[in-house]
Structure 1
Amino acid sequence: MKNDRSGKAAILSESDYAKLRRNFKTLKYKLLLDLAWYTGERWGALVQLRVSDVYLPNGMPRDVITFRAATRKKRKDGSADTRQVPVHQTLFENLRSYAPGNSPWLFPNRDGDGSVTWRNVYAILMKAVEEAGLTAKGISTHSTRRTFITKLHNNGVSIATIKKITGHRDLKSVEGYIEIEPNQVRGAIATL
């Protein structure tokens, strides 16, 4: 749902993220939200993570998460790139407290013979959004990606570096994710 957002998913505040996380019922889905928050990857790729993409054979989290090209959004020409994202310290601790089961999938379906689906996690997210009282905000699975990119930008990270982190091919694509608040515009003018 994207309310009055010009077709764009809402940016989440730290408070929104905390409310959503509290309303996810299981550690499995809390971790999914954490991965979205700290990597900026699309949920379609997140649900296809394998345990080996995130954990070492000894069960410790890797210091870099690998999103395989086969799981990532394809370009118009049908190609995609593998993306690796360094693990934030908070995410590392959350990964340490999660115990993947015997399935090769980090987020296995109930039968354990595949991963959960995007539709399944979308429904779980929307339920958490509703229970957190955030329905009117316009949150979708893409909100975490837009928030990740906007936060990096607001923290002074160059668009070229953000492009490298997110795996975008061009700067214009990255710019479309960044939300500029009116107070940022006023602040910029005030510096003249």
Structure 2
Amino acid sequence: MKNNRNGQAAVLTNADYSKIRKQVKSQKYKLLLDIAWYTGERWGALVKLQLMDCYNIDGTPREYINFRARTRKATPTGERKTRQVPVHSTLAELLTAYKPESDSMWLFPSREGDKPMGLRWADEILRTAVDIAGLCNKGISTHSTRRSFITNLANKGVNLATIKKITGHTDLKVLSGYIEVTDEDTKRAIATL
């Protein structure tokens, strides 16, 4: 668990996500949290999404969200890869309901509108919502949505090779470090024998 910004980010339950989302006042920032929850992408890439990465020319949501290579974290070898994530039906509804700022190419523009919002501001929005939700002692950070996404897929029985493809990981060992395994998980696993 994260403590004073050290350690692994906490995995969120569905209830945690709902409590945090309820405390985010702006629709724009709710959508930021929603995209993080339903794609498992790092927040550094989320804040750099352009409208064309999520929407078709006619304003309808794309079938895939496109996280461009230059916005994503590099692999240990320095390579960056574009990641396309299928849009979950709930996320498609949220994207449809959202009305982007028409004068900006960015999905999450800065106050000036000519550049994307900064990661620090996104982090501050999340931390404020976490505090108001009464969850500040859980070790939640922007990376919690990525760990939660990966853990949820694993808990639903999605094999690691598929999760690796979805998340863009190049190393199964690194990927497995994201998956939270509780004592209850190990008991249930043994009970299947």
- TM-score norm. by structure 2 comes to 0.96
- Pick closer, same or farther for the CA change 1:24–1:143 going to 2, 3 Å: same
Aligned: 1:162 with 2:163:
yes
Aligned: 1:110 with 2:111:
yes
Mapped partners of 2:54, 2:191: distance in 1: 45
Mapped partners of 2:6, 2:186: distance in 1: 19
Stretches of structure 1 lacking an aligned partner (at least 5 in a row): none
Mapped partners of 2:188, 2:32: distance in 1: 35
Mapped partners of 1:88, 1:130: distance in 2: 28
Mapped partners of 1:163, 1:51: distance in 2: 26
Q: CA deviation at 1:4?
A: 9.5
- Pick closer, same or farther for the CA change 1:6–1:44 going to 2, 3 Å: closer
Question: What is the match of residue 131 of structure 1?
Answer: 132
Mapped partners of 2:110, 2:82: distance in 1: 24
- TM-score norm. by structure 1 comes to 0.97
Q: CA deviation at 1:3?
A: 3.0
Aligned: 1:19 with 2:15:
no
User: What's the RMSD between the two structures over aligned residues?
Assistant: 1.5
Mapped partners of 2:26, 2:191: distance in 1: 46
Mapped partners of 2:11, 2:76: distance in 1: 26
Cα displacement string for residues 110-137 of structure 1 (whole angstroms, at most 9, x for unaligned residues): 0101000000010111000000000000
Q: Secondary structure at the match of 2:152?
A: helix
Partner letter of residue 93 of structure 1? E
Mapped partners of 2:89, 2:177: distance in 1: 28
Q: CA deviation at 1:6?
A: 7.7
Mapped partners of 1:76, 1:189: distance in 2: 35
Partner letter of residue 7 of structure 1? G
